[in-house]
Every structure is written in C-alpha cells, then in structure tokens.
C-alpha cells in the first residue's frame, strides 16, 4: 500500500504595489458618468468588503506613480482608463510569468528533500490571462526541470481551481509513489478592473487582487521541519441555482466578472448539502475520522471535529454565511478573514494563502489535526477538501 501524498513547502508571492481600499474606493467613486446610486454602491461595496489592502502588478494604480503614457490610470485627471483585452493580456504574460517562476522557485527552495531533477509533474492554475507556450512551460525552462516533466494547465476555472489542481496532484501520486508534483497558481485579477454602474461589476472591483502561491505534492518522506498536509479526500458540488450569478467571460475591454450580490445567499442555502458527502465518507472503515465526522456534521458539530478551516474568502458576506451555517468560531475563520483583510480575493491562489497562514501563523497546529478547505467559483461550483496536519516527526495519525 503506497504512502499518502502530502502537500508541503507552501509558499506565496505578491506584487510590490499596495492598494489601500479607501483610496481605491475614492478613485472608483469619482469616475465621470456614475450616477448617484452607483456611487452609493461603490462606497458600500468597498467599505463593506472586509479589505484594508490589496496588491497589484499595475504600478499606475499606486496613486504615486507618474508614467509617461498611462494605460490603466491617468493620475493627472483621476480617470480609470479602459485598455483593450490584448493590452491587458500582454501585461499578464510578462508579470504572471515572473510570478509563476518566483512562486515555483520559492516552493522548491523551501524543501531540502526535493531538487529540480525530482519534479515529475507541473500543474499551473490561472484564469486571468492566456498564452502559449504557457506558464507550466515557463516554469520548466526557468527552473531547469527535465524536458520530460509532465505539464498541465488548469485555465479559466475561477476561484476554486487550486483544489482540483491538488486533487489531480494527489491522483498522480497515487498512481506513481515516486511522483513529485509542483502546483502553482497565479492570478492577476486587477488587470480586469474597470469602472461601471453595474452592481455586479462594482462588487467585483471592490474585492479582487493579485497574488501567487505554490506547493509540492508528493508521497516521499518529508525533507523539512515544517508541517505539511495529508490530502485525504476531495468533493465537488454544483449549486442547483447560481450559474448566472458567478461567471467569467472575455470582452473587448478585458475579462468580465459577473459576481451577483445573491452569491452569499446561494452559498448559505446550499453549503450544507454541498459538503455533506465529504464528511459522510468519514464513516468508512479505516479512516481516522470513521464514524465521528459524518455524525458531527449532521449534528452541527463539525467545527469540534475539524479544528482548522481554509475557506476561500470570496468576500466578507460569503465568510459570514459559511461561519453561520457551519457553526464555526471566530478563531476558525481568522485565517480566511485576515487573508481577505490584508490581500483581498486573489481568485484561485487565495485558498493556498489561507492554508499557508494556518500552517505558519496559527498557534498550536498539531500533528493529526484536521483541516477543511473549500472554495467557490463559476457555476456556482463548490470544491472542498479534507486534509490532516503532518507535524515534524509525526505521521498525521
């Protein structure tokens, strides 16, 4: 029987330019053509987002940069500009490529038990730009990986895509005990921000940010003193309604996000049924949570059995609904809320940031403790995973 795969060496990278939410709010509210109602929605959305700061690859948005030929923001006039999709994607190719390599290298450097020659698979994740050869190719070349490395790219899936990437990595390791899978997510959401009177667009503009995250998935013995995560199992669910409430399309002036104000309500109404199969499997013989997880979930006590929660912070209202429906404590939501407050919603990379925060910043993370991860995206799709902490010297059991 092969050893279970472990997610280890999680590392994150963010761009240098910091956006302060109150300053960005004032810029969006001051755009010409906005009616009084739209201005009120801008103020309410930005102030109620739960975000203090975000990061962006667009230096012009710093409010201090003075480019000779601005493409995204004209500081002199205060106008948000509207570059075409090709211009936005050109910036994506340059900046995302750099971040993909930086995050991948950081994860590899963090694991003394793994060297570049050990990598057998590369999985990249992104929904905010396109190019070929793609980011997985760029990582192979920049890190000097073998040409024979198997490469996969999960594109345009949205905020939940890192969990299917981890599931695929887990499956590769189950098929080959010697597999070493490098998983990297990069999202440059701010490339597609734009002024609009549409409430859905305003909500999206108040939330999204840029960031990169990477980790290594393998069943090989741990090579560092840092804790990792056993990838126990995954589950996918689709809400009965919500297909039109969260969507991501390509327009002439960038990618267009549809993020309806109804999304938190839909998640609140469907989250219990969406997650039940993940915990019902805990009754299976041989599982360390056999009998306890399914019963605890049905009784509303799942927060007692699963201590740590890596919930994708799609927005403050989403976190509020999940916390209420699953009866989770403020402490259990702290990693997600702090990620949202300091970095915003970085689409697919965000849940990896939350997992890293749990492993590195939460007090008293112990071997064998359960970690639940979940993320929501277009569809409306809910991806979830159950993991177990493997502390230094432990085996997660």
Give 310-332 pLDDT, tens digit per residue.
999 999 999 999 999 999 999 99
Task: Give CA–CA dist 38/203, Å, rounded.
Answer: 11
- Of the candidates 370, 362, 241, which has an alpha carbon nearest to the alpha carbon of residue 297? 370
Average pLDDT score over the chain = 92
The closest alpha carbon to 353, from 93, 170, 162, belongs to 162
> Mind listing the pLDDT tens digit for each residue in 96-126?
999 999 999 999 999 999 999 999 999 999 9
pLDDT of the residue at 287: 55
What does the pLDDT look like over 14-61, one tens digit per residue? 999 999 999 999 999 999 989 999 999 999 999 999 999 999 999 998
Q: How far is Cα 379 from Cα 240, in angstroms, rounded to an integer?
A: 9
Rounded average pLDDT over 266-279:
90
How do residues 287-306 score in pLDDT, each as one tens digit?
A: 555 557 888 888 889 999 99
At residue 393, the pLDDT reads 66
Separation CA 96–CA 130 (nearest Å): 10
> Global pTM?
0.94
d(CA 230, CA 57): 33
- What average pLDDT score do residues 76-83 get? 92
pLDDT at 192: 95
Q: What is the pLDDT of residues 335-347, one digit of tens each?
A: 999 999 999 999 9
The dihedral over CA atoms of 57, 59, 61, 63, expressed in degrees to the nearest 10, equals 150
Task: Give the tens place of pLDDT for each residue, 121-180.
Answer: 999 999 999 999 999 999 999 999 999 999 999 999 999 999 999 999 999 999 999 999
């Amino acid at each position: 029987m092969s050893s279970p795969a472990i997610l280890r060496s999680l590392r994150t990278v963010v761009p240098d330019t910091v956006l302060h939410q109150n300053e960005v709010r004032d810029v969006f509210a001051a755009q010409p053509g906005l009616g009084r109602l739209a201005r009120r929605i801008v103020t309410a959305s930005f102030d109620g987002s739960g975000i203090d700061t975000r990061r962006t690859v667009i230096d012009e948005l710093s409010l201090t940069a003075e480019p000779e030929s601005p493409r995204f923001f004209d500081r002199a006039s205060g106008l948000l500009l509207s570059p075409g999709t090709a211009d936005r994607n050109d910036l994506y190719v340059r900046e995302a490529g750099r971040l993909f390599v930086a995050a991948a290298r950081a994860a590899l450097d963090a694991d003394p038990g793994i060297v570049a020659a050990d990598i057998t698979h590369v999985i990249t994740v992104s929904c905010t730009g396109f190019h070929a050869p793609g980011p997985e190719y760029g990582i192979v070349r920049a890190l000097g990986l073998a040409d024979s490395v198997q490469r996969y790219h999960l594109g345009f899936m949205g905020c939940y895509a890192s969990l299917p990437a981890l599931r695929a990595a887990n499956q590769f390791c189950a098929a080959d005990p010697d597999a070493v899978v490098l998983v990297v997510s990069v999202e440059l959401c701010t490339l597609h921000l734009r002024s609009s009177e549409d409430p859905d667009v305003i909500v999206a503009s108040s939330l999204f940010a840029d960031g990169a995250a990477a980790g290594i998935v393998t069943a090989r013995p741990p090579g560092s003193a840092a804790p990792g995560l056993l990838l126990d199992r995954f589950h996918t669910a689709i809400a009965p309604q919500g297909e039109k409430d969260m969507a991501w399309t390509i327009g002439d002036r960038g990618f267009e996000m549809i993020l309806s104000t109804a999304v938190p309500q839909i998640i609140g109404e469907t989250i219990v049924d969406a997650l039940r199969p993940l915990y019902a499997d805990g009754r299976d013989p041989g599982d360390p949570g056999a009998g306890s997880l399914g019963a605890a979930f049905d009784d509303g006590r799942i927060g007692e059995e699963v201590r740590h929660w890596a919930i994708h912070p799609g927005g403050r209202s989403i976190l509020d609904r999940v916390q209420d429906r699953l009866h989770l404590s403020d402490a259990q939501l702290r990693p997600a809320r702090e990620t949202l407050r300091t970095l915003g919603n970085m689409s697919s990379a965000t849940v990896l940031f939350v997992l890293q925060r749990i492993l590195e910043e939460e007090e008293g993370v112990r071997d064998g403790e359960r970690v639940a991860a979940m993320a929501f995206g277009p569809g409306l799709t809910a991806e979830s995973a159950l993991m177990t902490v493997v502390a230094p010297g432990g085996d997660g059991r």
